[in-house]
């Protein structure tokens, strides 16, 4: 699309510029424009991500040698709890859907906004409220929560720390997530542009759709669960307390009924991002569109049935171990299919290596490590040994940071020129990527070994035989931090001083690239008629 | 024996290596493919992309093959899980109790201890539970892990084939000292095990403190762990913080210690978390008494050493035992004699007997000795036993003079 | 592409139909109380839940207009109920088969 | 500013999705209920005997009737009879308040007997009965909060109807509030037999 597509009189800064009479912060925090809301989410998420990373670095520093007393035991316990709560509930779960989902969903389907723009803004306010309440729980009352992000009973009922406030924060955040999911499902059903059939949806939208269903149907279980923990602490209700006839394992069931599917809330949108980026840089239609879309739905649905594989050592029935181990292995298949489809898309393409593709390849590698080590945990017997050890810590950091994190960074580098109308320095971005990749592996790989050696997680101190791995891991954390700093600095510089990017720097074929960068407030001057699929590149594709 | 003699560790490890090997190959192929494609089909080398977007045969293959592979993994995983769960019928049962933040192991004869002693070559069945929150019982060397859940008993088993010590960890986060909830499996020859078991449980106070897991949180050497140290308690005071934040001083005496053990001391000790679980109804009275006696420095069955007590309480700083006059009258020859005191401004003769000594200890300013400054402090913290012991001590010094 | 927007004008339910549904619901309530007074053991719970489900379906299909909604919405409702049933059902693989419940 | 969507079907789809989340929210409690019923079925039978079937039955009838009025009020507005719609809505809210009053009496009576979460009396009962009462308070309490919210929502909708913001041509807000109210009724339809009738 040429520059003539820009509406006459449209600001070159598109939705980023405010009307004359309503500038400033208010025009952002009360805006119902999905792109502004998406950017607000992105800003909050990245800020909290930085906070979470800082806590992670502190923990790694504390663990650099055995017997180190940089942090008091109670402080360490609070730090890993807060690191988990921030990273899971405030960063990773909303990460891609709330930020890029909001920005891109209406653009991808050719709509002027989501179905319920005011509800969308309300979701963000709820998110902000949840974040504030979470912060309040850290700095007030009898000390930051020290339960781990899982809030397992009966410990979470007994500890005197500020758990009651923390679980309310989780409840509020859950509500925010539900409303976003509900909004997205309605939008995808109702607001697709003429000609935008289900089979012309981008795979990113498909992944958002699958994710949204998990958000709507699983999150309420978390809501009621944390409400009950709150009620046990504050109202003296006794539903999980073993001293009063309660069954603490039921808490774990309820918790994981949400929190396992939450892993798919985290990873599916990243897979969607990857599915959208690969064809663009291979200049080739996505391989197996139907299978990828279908596997998103399969992962979301079967993935909701495997929760108790977090409980193989909990003392639940052996039959349940059998059933959930089996279901867990079944859900591995659609993930494998996605990987093979991505590889086949690269096969015989005409590949141009740009930062978004680098992060995408990083995603494939890291997610493969995380996914494949997950198989060890799915196998009932092998899981017993590695459960609740550093092996798990390594596994989920590979999946969530290596997967969702790199997916998010890929999305940031891919859609950056669209959102800001500028380009970052691509060489610096590539350098940052390699440093991040190196740092992640030095940080997390030793944890697999530590876990196999028997090092349990959530230990503020450890016996001497684990010292070497812990030291390497801590060094890795510094490499990773440098890489992240470089990447964020580069993006920030791009926002400030980057060269103008033009409407479609990558030569991509989804609808958002037909708009000027940044897109104008109302998106499309008129609702487009869609006549081709999201990956049907023009015959002479190369833009340069 | 009964088909259960399969080596669990080998079974688990076989599953692990099978999955690990398969995964490593797959990972290698994926990584290789991405790198190869990016180089081989780089736009410089391969400017025109091929135009295909599906291949039914390939898709069927790469759905079917992973499905078969994961089903095989599932099968092996389940087999090794069954090996872990299939407890041999001839196993010796040991009860395992987790509590914040220590393990305790109880054998069939009621003997308990903080480490798990097992005989070589014999399967040991562990019946595991918890007194407070969920803990995780983990022995990496045996690939054994199962949660200790309050209100429930879970089971595991292990069999040691080589003598030695194997670490036990807690794997479910359980609060402040989760990282220090360590113990070990001590594997010894069956003969050694039998003789160890035959020794029976120690019954002295220290052994009992160990038995009831006190020493996981309270050191005997003065160091500060989760709870205050139990060293040199007699005559000390504790600062309690009540729930409303007010602080008060209490004497560490028998009543206090007993209340503290059952969770009734009415506040937390300043500088510590109120994390001590209540032992109400869990410790037989005679064991409780033995522990308290030990903590208060009493020899069980023997009276307190009055001389030592007088020294510890600082009496001898003002009262000599050799007749010389310091700040107060000498203890030598004091007991059993008449002495002159000031009672409400008047000089009165009183007999120094047990009642008088106790009165002075409780309220020295009431009837101070004539010729001395009324500077003696009160000793409200002394227990009745301690007072008796001091009386006895004074009596012995007085008796000495009479015998002259 | 708003697929739910087939704009068959909103269906208006007559007061008489609503009153019939209401009367049925009241009768079912009476029946369920009556049935509960007969001791059928396990079947008491089954009967109570069957009647409750019938009542729920009446409310959903008439009071909540589901009878007149697009098939998609019916399927989604079905999906939500199935998901909940599966959550409860799968949990019973543990709850009903745990070796021993109390120490 | 984008003009407000008049996507009637979309608004209803969104509302139904929200109702699904409500169903699943209560679903977590139903899961607990079924698991504990399996574990303590005798205790549950004993404890349920202490609940007043008459009060519970009366509340069932009250809610069903209020649901009925709610449905009729939508019919009335669809036919353009605003006064009748308002009257029926008022009746619905009145019924809801009646339900709450009834519930308050019932809870109060329990409190009088020393039955409230964590009470000495409860602690002395068999564990299954204590769990039963905990579930009873949790589920009817959460339901009660929903009734209270419903009263608020319906009162607000009454104002909108009066002001003509909700009218014959544009009544999706009324319809969605109705859906919410019927859901509250639906939940109670299940709570009633589970707590009052399993003796």
Q: How far is CA A313 from CA B129, B137, B146, in A?
A: 13, 9, 5
Q: How far is CA B79 from CA A320, A380, B85, in A?
A: 15, 8, 10
The full set of domain ranges for chain A reads: 28-514
Instruction: Evaluate whether B92-199 and B221-295 have a shared fold.
Output: no
Contacts of A42 (CB under 8 A, 6+ apart): A99, A100, A103
Residues of A with CB under 8 A from a CB of D: 32-33, 112-113, 115-117, 119, 178, 181-183, 185-186, 189-191, 216-221, 223-225, 227-228, 231, 235-239, 244-247, 250, 253-254, 257, 522
- Quickly list DSSP for A29-55: HT---HHHHHHHHHHHHHHHHHHHHHH
Residues C40 and C55 in one domain: yes
Q: Which residue has the higher pLDDT, A426 or B210?
A: A426
* D20 close contact with A: CB closer than 8 A: yes
| For testing contact with chain A, the best of C69, C85, C90, C99 (most A CBs within 10 A) | C90
What 8-state DSSP symbol labels residue B53?
-
Residues C25 and C49 in one domain: yes
Note whether C88 and D29 are within 8 A (CB): no
What span, in angstroms and rounded, lies between the C-alpha atoms of B364 and B394? Answer: 16
Check pLDDT > 80 for residue A2: no
* A210 close contact with C: CB closer than 8 A: no
Note whether A45 and A412 are within 8 A (CB): no
* C101 close contact with B: CB closer than 8 A: yes
Here the ipTM equals: 0.90
Token reading at C59: 């409310």
For residue B279, the distance in angstroms to the closest alpha carbon of chain A comes to 14
In a domain, C8, yes or no: no
In a domain, D83, yes or no: yes
How many CB atoms are closer than 10 A to CB A3? 8
Check pLDDT > 50 for residue B60: yes
Which residues of chain B make contact with C102, given a CB cutoff of 8 A?
Answer: 151-152
* CB spacing of A368 vs B73 below 8 angstroms: no
Q: Closest Cα partner for B270 from B235, B237, B222, B233?
A: B237
Contacts of C3 (CB under 8 A, 6+ apart): A189, A190, C70, C72
In a domain, C17, yes or no: yes
Share the mean pLDDT of chain C: 85
Contacts of A127 (CB under 8 A, 6+ apart): A41, A44, A90, A94, A98, A173, A176
pLDDT band at A117 (very low <50, low <70, confident <90, very high): very high
- How buried is B289 (Cβ within 10 angstroms: 0-12 exposed, 13-18 middle, 19+ buried)? middle
* A35 close contact with B: CB closer than 8 A: no
Query: What is the architecture of the domain spanning B8-85?
Result: Orthogonal Bundle (1.10)
What span, in angstroms and rounded, lies between the C-alpha atoms of D125 and D111? Answer: 15
Least trusted range by pLDDT, from A62-66, C10-14, D59-63: C10-14
* C97 close contact with B: CB closer than 8 A: no
Which residues of chain C make contact with A308, given a CB cutoff of 8 A?
Answer: 90, 93-94
Portion of chain B with pLDDT greater than 70, in percent: 94
Q: Name residue B238's beta-bridge partners.
A: B250
Contacts of C78 (CB under 8 A, 6+ apart): none
* A385 close contact with B: CB closer than 8 A: yes
Note whether B151 and A243 are within 8 A (CB): yes
Share the mean pLDDT of chain B: 84
* 3 state DSSP class of B377: coil
The alpha carbon of C25 is separated from its chain's Cα centroid by a whole number of angstroms, namely 13
Mean of the pLDDT values across residues A24-35? 87
Portion of chain A with pLDDT greater than 90, in percent: 79
Q: Which residue has the higher pLDDT, B322 or A168?
A: A168
- How buried is D88 (Cβ within 10 angstroms: 0-12 exposed, 13-18 middle, 19+ buried)? buried
Return the residue of B nearest to C101 by Cα.
Answer: B152
Residues C21 and C53 in one domain: yes
pLDDT band at A247 (very low <50, low <70, confident <90, very high): very high
pLDDT of residue C4: 58
What span, in angstroms and rounded, lies between the C-alpha atoms of A448 and A451? Answer: 5
pLDDT of residue B277: 74
Residues C83 and C41 in one domain: no
Residues C60 and C21 in one domain: yes
pLDDT of residue A544: 43
In a domain, D103, yes or no: yes
CB nearest D117 (choices: A32, A186, A236): A236
What span, in angstroms and rounded, lies between the C-alpha atoms of D30 and D19? Answer: 16
Q: Give the torsion sign (CA, A507, A510, A513, A515).
A: positive
pLDDT band at C41 (very low <50, low <70, confident <90, very high): confident
pLDDT band at B17 (very low <50, low <70, confident <90, very high): very high
Which residues of chain B make contact with C103, given a CB cutoff of 8 A?
Answer: 129, 151-153
* D169 close contact with A: CB closer than 8 A: no
Which residues of chain A make contact with D135, given a CB cutoff of 8 A?
Answer: 239
What are the tens digits of pLDDT across the range B240-261?
888 777 888 888 888 888 888 8
Least trusted range by pLDDT, from A18-27, A88-97, A424-433, B205-214: A18-27
Check pLDDT > 70 for residue A140: yes
pLDDT of residue A6: 41
* C94 close contact with B: CB closer than 8 A: no
* CB spacing of A343 vs B78 below 8 angstroms: no
- Domain interval for residue C85: 69-103
CATH code for the domain defined by B306-403 = 1.10.760.10
Return the residue of D nearest to A246 by Cα.
Answer: D131
CB nearest C95 (choices: D23, D35, D189): D35
Q: Give A28-514's CATH code, choosing from 3.30.470.20, 2.40.30.10, 1.20.210.10, 3.40.50.300.
A: 1.20.210.10
Check pLDDT > 60 for residue B301: no
In a domain, C1, yes or no: no
What span, in angstroms and rounded, lies between the C-alpha atoms of A448 and A391? Answer: 4
A: neighbours with 3+ CB pairs under 8 Å? B, C, D
Looking up tokens 């209100």, which residue turns up?
Answer: B151
Looking up tokens 């001791």, which residue turns up?
Answer: C39
* D14 close contact with A: CB closer than 8 A: yes
For residue B36, the distance in angstroms to the closest alpha carbon of chain A comes to 9
For residue A206, the distance in angstroms to the closest alpha carbon of chain B comes to 18
pLDDT of residue B302: 58
* Torsion angles phi and psi, residue C33, rounded to 5: -65, -40
Residues C42 and C84 in one domain: no
For residue B45, the distance in angstroms to the closest alpha carbon of chain A comes to 8
* Torsion angles phi and psi, residue A354, rounded to 5: -125, 165
* CB spacing of C1 vs A193 below 8 angstroms: yes
pLDDT of residue D119: 83
**Judging by DSSP bridges, how do beta strands B112-113 and B92-99 pair with one another?**
unpaired
Instruction: Walk across the sheet containing B154-158 and list its strands.
Output: B112-113, B102-106, B92-99, B124-130, B154-158
What span, in angstroms and rounded, lies between the C-alpha atoms of A193 and A200? Answer: 11
Count of alpha carbons within 13 Å of D72, Cβ hemisphere only? 23
Q: Closest Cα partner for A222 from A131, A124, A149?
A: A149
Q: Return the number of CB contacts < 8 Å for B and C.
A: 10
Q: Which residue has the higher pLDDT, B67 or B352?
A: B67
Check pLDDT > 70 for residue B198: yes
- How buried is A404 (Cβ within 10 angstroms: 0-12 exposed, 13-18 middle, 19+ buried)? buried
The alpha carbon of A316 is separated from its chain's Cα centroid by a whole number of angstroms, namely 30
What span, in angstroms and rounded, lies between the C-alpha atoms of D35 and D31? Answer: 6
What are the tens digits of pLDDT across the range B128-147?
999 889 999 999 999 999 99
Portion of chain C with pLDDT greater than 90, in percent: 56
Mean of the pLDDT values across residues D141-146? 96
Q: Which residue has the higher pLDDT, B377 or B228?
A: B228
pLDDT of residue D134: 92
pLDDT of residue B109: 82
pLDDT of residue A269: 95
Least trusted range by pLDDT, from A109-113, A372-376, C95-99: C95-99
For residue A390, the distance in angstroms to the closest alpha carbon of chain B comes to 10
* 3 state DSSP class of A385: helix
How many CB atoms are closer than 10 A to CB C57? 13
* CB spacing of D24 vs A217 below 8 angstroms: yes
The answer to whether the peptide bond before residue A518 is cis (omega within 30 degrees of 0) is yes
Number of structural domains (chain C) is: 2
* 3 state DSSP class of A527: coil
Alpha-helical (H) ranges within B200-248 are: 205-211
* CB spacing of A196 vs C97 below 8 angstroms: no
Return the residue of C nearest to B150 by Cα.
Answer: C103
Mean of the pLDDT values across residues C2-9? 54
pLDDT band at A539 (very low <50, low <70, confident <90, very high): low
Check pLDDT > 50 for residue B46: yes
pLDDT band at A10 (very low <50, low <70, confident <90, very high): very low
Number of structural domains (chain D) is: 1
In a domain, D82, yes or no: yes
Which residues of chain C make contact with D23, given a CB cutoff of 8 A?
Answer: 80-81, 84
pLDDT of residue A237: 87
What are the tens digits of pLDDT across the range A199-211?
999 999 999 999 9
What span, in angstroms and rounded, lies between the C-alpha atoms of B137 and B148? Answer: 6
Return the residue of A nearest to C93 by Cα.
Answer: A320
* 3 state DSSP class of B7: coil
What span, in angstroms and rounded, lies between the C-alpha atoms of D196 and D191? Answer: 8
Q: How far is CA C99 from CA B9, B85, B149, C102, in A?
A: 24, 12, 14, 9
Which residues of chain A make contact with B34, given a CB cutoff of 8 A?
Answer: 343, 346, 361, 364-365
Please tell us whether the domain made up of B221-295 is placed in CATH 1.10.760.10: yes
How many CB atoms are closer than 10 A to CB D184? 23
Residues 22-41 of C with CB under 8 A from A: none
The full set of domain ranges for chain B reads: 8-85, 92-199, 221-295, 306-403
Q: How far is CA A61 from CA A66, A388, A480, B385, in A?
A: 11, 21, 13, 52
Looking up tokens 């309420």, which residue turns up?
Answer: A220
In a domain, C47, yes or no: yes
Query: What is the architecture of the domain spanning B92-199?
Result: Sandwich (2.60)
Note whether B179 and B265 are within 8 A (CB): no
For residue B225, the distance in angstroms to the closest alpha carbon of chain A comes to 11
Return the residue of A nearest to D19 by Cα.
Answer: A216
Which residues of chain A make contact with D123, given a CB cutoff of 8 A?
Answer: 244
pLDDT band at D139 (very low <50, low <70, confident <90, very high): very high
Q: Closest Cα partner for B243 from B269, B267, B274?
A: B267
Mean of the pLDDT values across residues A499-520? 90
Check pLDDT > 60 for residue C101: no
For residue D1, the distance in angstroms to the closest alpha carbon of chain A comes to 8
Q: Name residue A243's beta-bridge partners.
A: none
The alpha carbon of B314 is separated from its chain's Cα centroid by a whole number of angstroms, namely 33
What span, in angstroms and rounded, lies between the C-alpha atoms of B36 and A348? Answer: 11
């Amino acid at each position: 699309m040429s520059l003539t597509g820009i509406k006459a009189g449209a600001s070159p800064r598109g939705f980023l510029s405010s009307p004359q009479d309503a500038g400033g912060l208010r025009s952002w925090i009360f805006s119902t424009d999905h792109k502004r809301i998406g950017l607000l989410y992105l800003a909050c998420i990245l800020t909290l991500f930085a906070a979470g990373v800082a806590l992670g670095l502190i923990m790694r520093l504390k663990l650099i040698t055995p017997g180190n007393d940089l942090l008091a035991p109670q402080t360490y316990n609070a730090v890993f709890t807060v690191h988990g709560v921030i990273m899971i509930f405030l960063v990773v779960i909303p990460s891609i859907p709330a930020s890029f989902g909001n920005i891109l969903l209406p653009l991808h389907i050719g709509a002027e906004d989501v179905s319920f723009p005011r509800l969308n803004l309300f979701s963000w306010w709820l998110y902000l409220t949840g974040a504030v309440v979470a912060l309040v729980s850290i700095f007030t009352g009898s000390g930051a929560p020290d339960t781990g992000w899982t809030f397992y009973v009966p410990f979470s009922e007994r500890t005197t720390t500020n758990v009651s406030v923390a679980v309310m924060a989780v409840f509020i955040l859950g509500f925010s997530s539900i409303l976003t999911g509900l909004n997205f499902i309605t939008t995808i059903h109702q607001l697709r542009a003429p000609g935008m059939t289900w089979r012309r949806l981008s795979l990113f939208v498909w992944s958002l759709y699958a994710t949204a269903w998990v958000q709507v149907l699983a999150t309420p279980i978390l809501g009621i669960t944390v409400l009950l923990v709150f009620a046990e602490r504050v109202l003296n209700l006794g539903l999980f307390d073993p001293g009063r006839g309660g069954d603490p394992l039921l808490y774990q069931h309820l918790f994981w009924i949400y929190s396992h599917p939450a892993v798919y809330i985290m990873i599916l949108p990243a897979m969607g991002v990857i599915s959208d980026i690969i064809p663009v840089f291979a200049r080739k239609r996505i391989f197996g569109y139907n299978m990828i879309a279908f596997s998103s739905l399969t992962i979301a649905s079967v993935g909701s049935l495997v929760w108790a594989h977090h409980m193989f050592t909990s003392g639940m029935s052996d039959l349940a171990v059998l059933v959930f181990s089996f279901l867990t292995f079944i859900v591995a298949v659609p993930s494998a299919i996605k990987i093979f489809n991505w590889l086949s898309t690269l096969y015989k393409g005409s590949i141009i290596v740009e930062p978004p593709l680098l992060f995408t390849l990083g995603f494939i590698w890291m997610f493969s490590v995380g996914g494949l080590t997950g198989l060890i945990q799915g196998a009932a017997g092998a899981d017993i040994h590695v459960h609740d050890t550093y092996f798990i810590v390594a596994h989920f950091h590979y999946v969530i940071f290596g997967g969702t994190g790199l997916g998010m960074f890929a999305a940031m580098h891919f859609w950056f020129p669209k959102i800001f109308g500028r380009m970052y320095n691509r060489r610096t971005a590539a350098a940052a990527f390699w440093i991040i990749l190196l740092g992640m592996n030095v940080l997390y790989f030793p944890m697999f070994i530590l876990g196999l050696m028997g090092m349990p997680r959530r230990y503020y101190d450890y016996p001497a035989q684990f010292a070497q791995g812990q030291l390497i891991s801590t060094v890795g954390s510094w490499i990773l931090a440098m890489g992240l700093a470089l990447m964020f600095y580069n993006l920030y510089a791009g926002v400030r001083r980057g060269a103008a990017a033009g409407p479609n720097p990558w030569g991509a074929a989804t609808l958002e690239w037909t708009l000027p960068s940044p897109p104008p407030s109302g998106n499309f001057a008129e609702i487009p008629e869609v006549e081709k699929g999201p990956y049907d590149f023009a015959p002479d594709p190369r833009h340069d | 024996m009964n088909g259960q003699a399969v080596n669990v560790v080998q079974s688990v490890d076989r599953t692990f290596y099978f999955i690990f090997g398969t995964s490593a190959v797959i990972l290698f192929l994926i990584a290789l493919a991405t790198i190869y494609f990016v180089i081989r089909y780089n736009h410089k080398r391969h400017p025109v992309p091929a135009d295909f977007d599906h291949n039914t045969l390939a898709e069927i293959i790469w759905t079917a093959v992973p499905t078969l592979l994961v089903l095989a993994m599932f099968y092996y995983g389940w087999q090794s899980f069954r090996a872990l769960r299939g407890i041999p019928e001839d196993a010796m049962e040991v009860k395992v109790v987790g509590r914040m933040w220590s393990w305790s192991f109880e054998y069939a004869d009621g003997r308990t201890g903080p480490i798990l002693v097992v005989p070589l070559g014999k399967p040991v069945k562990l019946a595991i539970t918890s007194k407070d929150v969920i803990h995780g019982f983990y022995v990496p060397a045996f690939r054994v892990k199962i949660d200790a859940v309050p209100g429930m008993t879970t089971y595991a088993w292990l069999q040691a084939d080589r003598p030695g010590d194997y670490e036990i960890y807690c794997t479910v986060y359980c609060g402040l000292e989760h990282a220090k909830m360590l113990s070990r499996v001590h594997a010894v020859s069956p003969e050694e095990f039998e003789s160890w078991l035959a020794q029976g449980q120690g019954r002295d106070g220290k052994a009992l403190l160990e038995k009831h897991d006190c020493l996981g949180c309270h050191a005997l050497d003065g160091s500060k762990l989760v709870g205050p140290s139990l060293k040199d308690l007699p005559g000390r005071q504790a600062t309690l913080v009540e729930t409303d934040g007010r602080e008060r001083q209490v004497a560490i005496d028998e009543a206090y210690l007993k209340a503290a053990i059952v969770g009734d001391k009415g506040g937390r000790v300043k500088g510590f978390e109120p994390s001590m679980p209540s032992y109400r109804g869990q410790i037989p009275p005679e064991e409780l008494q033995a522990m308290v006696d030990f903590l208060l420095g009493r020899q069980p069955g023997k009276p307190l050493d009055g001389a030592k007590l007088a020294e510890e309480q600082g009496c001898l700083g003002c009262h000599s035992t050799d007749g010389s006059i310091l700040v107060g009258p000498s203890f030598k020859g004091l007991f059993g004699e008449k002495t002159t005191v000031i009672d409400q401004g008047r000089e009165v003769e009183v007999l120094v007997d047990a009642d008088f000594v106790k009165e002075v200890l409780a309220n020295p300013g009431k009837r101070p000795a004539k010729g001395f400054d009324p500077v003696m402090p009160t000793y409200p913290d002394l227990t009745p036993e301690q007072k008796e012991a001091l009386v006895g001590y004074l009596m012995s010094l007085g008796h000495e003079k009479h015998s002259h | 592409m708003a697929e739910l927007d087939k704009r068959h004008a909103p269906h208006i339910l007559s007061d008489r139909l609503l009153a019939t549904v209401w009367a049925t619901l009241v009768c079912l309530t009476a029946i369920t109380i009556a049935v509960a007074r007969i001791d059928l053991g396990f079947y008491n719970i089954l009967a109570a839940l069957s009647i409750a489900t019938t009542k729920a379906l009446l409310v959903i299909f008439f009071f909540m207009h589901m009878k007149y909604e697009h098939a998609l919405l019916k399927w989604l409702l079905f999906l939500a109920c199935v998901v909940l049933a599966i959550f409860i059902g799968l949990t019973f693989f543990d709850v009903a088969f745990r070796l021993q419940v109390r120490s | 500013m984008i003009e407000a969507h008049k996507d009637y079907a979309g608004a209803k789809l969104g509302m139904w999705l929200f109702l699904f989340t409500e169903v699943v929210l209560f679903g977590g409690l139903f899961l607990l209920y079924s698991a504990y019923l399996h574990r303590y079925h005798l205790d549950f039978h004993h404890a349920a005997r202490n609940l007043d079937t008459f009060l519970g039955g009366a509340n069932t009838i009250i809610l069903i009737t209020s649901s009925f009025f709610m449905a009729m009020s939508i019919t009335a507005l669809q036919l353009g009879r605003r006064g009748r719609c308002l009257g029926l809505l008022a009746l619905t809210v009145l019924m809801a308040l009646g339900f709450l009053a009834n519930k308050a009496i019932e809870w109060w009576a329990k409190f009088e007997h020393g039955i409230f979460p964590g009470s000495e009396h409860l602690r002395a009962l068999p564990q299954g009965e204590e769990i039963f009462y905990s579930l009873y308070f949790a589920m009817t309490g959460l339901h009660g909060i929903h009734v209270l919210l419903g009263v608020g929502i319906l009162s607000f909708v009454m104002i909108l109807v009066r002001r003509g913001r909700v009218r014959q041509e544009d009544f999706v807000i009324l319809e969605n509030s109705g859906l919410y109210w019927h859901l509250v009724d639906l939940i109670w339809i299940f709570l009633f037999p589970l707590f009052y009738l399993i003796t």
